[in-house]
Amino acid sequence: QVELAESGGGLAQAGGSLRLSCAVSVGSGKILNLYAMGWYRQGPGNQRELVADINSAGSTNYAEPVKGRFTISRDNAKNTVYLQMNSLKPEDTAVYYCNADLVFTDWMGTPIAGKDFWGRGTQVTVSS
């Protein structure tokens, strides 16, 4: 019922930029509160790792390899989180996943709290 739809991935050259978006929706229910949202990535042969996250107050946290190059932001009115990626490097190549914690209602209006909802991922490939 909860869907996280990522978009914006693709192919970029080293030094280039991409912007990822992730929109959260809940089918026939509605979102009551959208808490922490984040971006993770999983490169070939690697485990999934945190890239950046942002809480409901707008406080952000970045993994060391992306500090100063990536910026996470959110639009609460649109239930959307973004990841602006600049100065891309080949080692940024990975599938990028969106993650969110939220409270929403089902089709009957019953509140449901859930953590760690995931999107299906979007491929980012950076060529040298």
Residue 1 is predicted with a pLDDT of 86
Residue 21, pLDDT above cutoff 90: yes
pLDDT by residue (tens digit) across 29-75?
899 999 999 999 999 899 999 999 999 999 999 999 999 999 999 99
Residue 11 is predicted with a pLDDT of 97
pLDDT by residue (tens digit) across 1-11?
899 999 999 99
- Across the chain, mean pLDDT equals 96
The pLDDT of 101-111, averaged and rounded, is 92
**Would you state the torsion angle of the CA atoms of residues 84, 125, 69, 3, taken in this order, to the nearest 10 degrees?**
40
